[in-house]
Amino acid sequence: MLFGNVFANVSTMSWRGDFDRLLILPHRPIKLLLSSGFDLGSIGILLTGLCLTAGAGIELKLTVNALDVLLVLAGIFCGLLLFMAFLIFYCTLLIMVTKNNRVEEIINALFSFSGYPMEIFPRVMSVVLSTVLPFMVIAYFPSQVLLGRAAVSAVPGMLVCILLFGLSLWVWNLKLKQYTSVGG
């Protein structure tokens, strides 16, 4: 819901040469690009997910305390930061080159790892998906918190999400200074 249309909007903007218009506005271009992805039409998916989570919690007779809620929200927040970092890297790539040839599909494929439990992956892959490229922070760790199996191993992954977001902003600002125009 928050960033669903960013890929399409940025691609279209880059292809048409409309990105230059963002640079003359008084707001930071990255804020405008990320906010252009808001899609109210996806609220049904969000509400369905919340209802399914609540229904599963009731069915499993889960007890949730304030700390659990905070940990789940921290995981969701870090997952959003991770997704924004990848979107910012994507936007950076598009201001450097006009043809993106499947970069969006690669990013979506990477994020599909977040839909699986960590236990199905080999040990090395589990470590990578929870620390180096912490896709497990998005859904796996919040679900483990709700199930009462909170893992301290999520903390390094959350820190990496924050670091990747900071790195993406730094790279964006660096490349934006070097931007000349479409395809420049």
The answer for 64, left when phi > 0, alpha when psi is -120 to 50, beta otherwise, is beta
Q: How far apart are CA 8 and CA 6, in angstroms?
A: 6
pLDDT for position 171: 94
Contact between 142 and 72 (Cβ < 8 Å): yes
Quick one: which H or E segment has residue 44? helix 43-59
Q: Encode pLDDT of 48-77 as tens digits.
A: 988 988 898 888 888 878 888 888 888 889
Could you read off the pLDDT of 80-138 as tens digits, one per residue? 899 889 888 888 887 777 666 677 788 888 888 888 888 899 999 888 888 888 888 88
Please tell me the predicted confidence (pLDDT) of residue 110.
84
The angle, 0 to 180 degrees and rounded to 10, between the axes of the packed helices 66-96 and 103-111 is: 160
- The domain ranges of the chain are 6-178
- Under a CB-based contact definition with an 8 Å cutoff, are residues 118 and 129 in contact? yes
Half-sphere exposure of 117 (CA within 13 A, CB side): 4
